[in-house]
Structure 1
Amino acid sequence: MASISNITHPIDKPEWNSKPAWKLPGWAEPLIVASILFGAMYFTRRRNYSILGRRKTLYNSTLDDPDSARSSDELLPTYDPENEDDPQDPVDASKGLPKSRRCCGTTVYTPNTSRFKDHFHSRIFQKFPFLIEMFYWIINYAFYRMTSIASQHIFSETGIWDVAKGHGIAVLEFEQVSWLSFLFPIRERSVQQWFMHGHQDALTFLNRTYALIHIPGTVGFIAWYYYIAPSHPTFATVRRTMTLTNFLAFVTFIFYPCMPPRLLPKEYGFLDSVRHDDAQSVWQSGKYVNTLAAMPSMHFGYAFCIGSTLLYHSTLFRRNLERNEVRKNKFWKMFFVVVGFGYPALILTTIVATANHYWLDAMVATCFVVLAFFCNKVFFVFIPLEDWFLWIIRAEKPIPSTGERFRELGGRL
């Protein structure tokens, strides 16, 4: 390994001419996210379904074929293997017999929750199916909050700050002096210095982008895609991919704490412009936030997943459309392609220019997304646990309303 002097720089106090950006009130970000979630819950609600009604008839969508299986509570004879909500035999269901699930190559029998479909909270779920998606992401956020506690416990004897600093320096050495350094021709410090000299207003904009887009942007994407996706299986694939990417990243956060460039000692030449602009997000501050979780970059992981989904949604790169899907006109094709490439590019520029991540962080995040996409069905093993949880709370899982309202409006952009 080369000498440390190869990646350090003379300590020189950087000149910063821009004024700190206006700080968003602490209550604003939670309000934005809550507005997105409850807005999505409202716009994807089931319009011809009454919470207070007591009819025993099953819900029937006017948008699907009569033999289209959507959820176990519909008890229809055709099973769509791509829809994780629906492995239920109609005869067994009608008799209240246990559900038969395939898990790890074996058959598992779980309680039949269809008897609870008329319970009040079940009817709320049926009216607002997006509540289930909100629940999934609350679990994700809770697991993220636990990574800091777990990592600090594991490295309590050695000192997590020193360990994370060592990992951050190791990343820089790998990028700049290893035999794979050709993969990283532009150094992170060079990118930040370019913005520091003559483009500080742009860096202030990127600081604000880093703070405000990650959580609201990702939540907004999930809400938008639930509303517009051509089918629930397609939406569920994206959701499972992002969730598995989360868990792969969370494990890395715990066992490989990594200090972001902006927190390294000054001799490495990075400026903590985020703190200068007071641009830290409320979601990324506080007691349980893991500030030593640079590897991988979930900012870029989410952006890459979102960008890939937008490219798929453009229909420009595939010949066959899904059922109920309408091919976009030229304007919308190009719109989704431009945003599909542009959004990840913006986030990559942001995380490097603000010294929040290394190039390698984005590269690892990309690999995690690809791995998660091909392995996302691993979450099917949790379906039996979901059945038991629903049995405990005496509720039936709702039929997804993914894309229904959009298709009611003609399915055209």
Structure 2
Amino acid sequence: MGDATVRTRERLEDGVPHPVAGTTGRSPLSRLRTPRRPRLWFEILLIALSYWTYSLVRNAVPEQRTAALRNADWIWRVEQQLGIAVEESVNHAVNSVTWLVVGMNYYYATLHFVVTLGVLVWLFRSHPGRYAATRLVLFATTGVALVGYYLYPLAPPRLMDGGHFIDTVMVHQTWGSMASGDLKNMSNQYAAMPSMHIGWSVWCGLTIFALASVPWVRVLGLVYPALTLVVIVATANHFWLDAVGGVLCLAFGFGVAAAWYGRLPYALPRLVPDAARRRRVWLPGRA
């Protein structure tokens, strides 16, 4: 009897309008900053449109071959002076193991998209209160990367003059980089700085590590960007410093999200307020 009364009261309170200060009293900007449950159709449309726009803008940047090769030579010299120019050695070592390098080619071509979309779907389903803020990090990271492609054209190591690096996709005839083989005309070959393979993979890794509840899954979250770094270097698609550029872009993305929401995305509630209240009311054994 008492339990029935509590349940009835909770359901009645759920239907009572919130105080004015909690909703209508807030400014439009404050309401925009409040996490809401994402809508599937809108998210699919937004992600598809955003990636289409990203690809269009990235490929519309003039392919400044001379400047890109000059910048690549400069970065290579800087890395040599710093003692971190090991890309050539890694590239040649991995290229000598056919099954390994072919696997890395396909890794480079596919997981960049598959894992990122998978993490977005997981956030949408399991962390709706954090979804929009975490997605904003990804979008802001990608947006500022476009500025980098325009201001600093850079040839990947495999396109440098002198033939010191091996284009593993061409040599082993595997479908890998969109900038190699038959697909090279579909992508700007001189948009290597910053590396979005690193920007996106670190975003995935941090998100999984911060929000996953299973320990071994959290470990995989850390392994994924580390392995991605090895792959982009071994396939001669990026320098180490391209990865640094990707991380800096990601830091900018987190800064944008933190400024907008007032805290880091992972510190937001897992559920949006309305969904959290309904879940408390209708938990098994309480309904």
Q: What TM-score results when the alignment is normalised by the length of structure 2?
A: 0.75
Structure 1 counterpart of 2:24, which letter? D
Question: How much does 1:237 deviate?
Answer: 2.0
Structure 1 counterpart of 2:98, which letter? Q
How does 1:100-139 map onto structure 2 within 5 Å? 100-102=27-29, 129-139=39-49
Say yes or no: does 1:140 pair with 2:33.
no
Q: Which residue of 2 aligns with 1:255?
A: 151
1:300–1:362 Cα contact (<8 Å) kept: yes
Question: How much does 1:238 deviate?
Answer: 1.3
Aligned-residue sequence identity (percent) comes to 27
Residues 132, 282 of structure 1: alpha-carbon distance in 2 compared, 3 angstrom cutoff:
farther
Partners of 2:198 and 2:50 in 1: CA distance: 17
Q: Which residue of 2 aligns with 1:39?
A: none
Q: 1:289 aligns with which of 166, 169, 187?
A: 187
2:178–2:187 Cα contact (<8 Å) kept: no
2:208–2:218 Cα contact (<8 Å) kept: yes
Q: Which residue of 2 aligns with 1:273?
A: 168
Q: Secondary structure at the match of 1:244?
A: helix
Structure 1 counterpart of 2:133, which letter? T
- Structure with bigger helix share is 2
Q: Which residue of 1 aligns with 2:24?
A: 89
Aligned length: 253
Q: Considering only aligned residues, what root-mean-square deviation do their CA atoms show, in Å? A: 3.7
Q: Secondary structure at the match of 2:28?
A: strand
Deviations 1:32-59 (CA, angstroms, capped at 9, x unpaired): xxxxxxxxxxxxxxxxxxxxxxxxxxxx
Question: How much does 1:357 deviate?
Answer: 0.6
Q: Which residue of 2 aligns with 1:340?
A: 221
How does 1:22-61 map onto structure 2 within 5 Å? none
Partners of 1:340 and 1:291 in 2: CA distance: 29
Deviations 1:111-152 (CA, angstroms, capped at 9, x unpaired): xxxxxxxxxxxxxxx9x9122222222232133223345421
How does 1:213-224 map onto structure 2 within 5 Å? 213-224=111-122
1:151–1:255 Cα contact (<8 Å) kept: no
Q: Which residue of 1 aligns with 2:269?
A: none
Partners of 2:207 and 2:168 in 1: CA distance: 31
Residues 403, 205 of structure 1: alpha-carbon distance in 2 compared, 3 angstrom cutoff:
farther
2:158–2:237 Cα contact (<8 Å) kept: yes
Q: 2:70 aligns with which of 166, 171, 175?
A: 166
Partners of 1:409 and 1:283 in 2: CA distance: 52
Q: Which residue of 1 aligns with 2:243?
A: 362
Which of 354-363 and 271-280 deviates more? 271-280
1:313–1:336 Cα contact (<8 Å) kept: no
Q: Which residue of 2 aligns with 1:193?
A: 92
2:115–2:204 Cα contact (<8 Å) kept: no
Flag structure 2 segments of 5+ consecutive residues without an equivalent.
Answer: 1-9, 262-271
Partners of 2:106 and 2:156 in 1: CA distance: 17
Q: Which residue of 2 aligns with 1:42?
A: none
Partners of 1:294 and 1:237 in 2: CA distance: 27
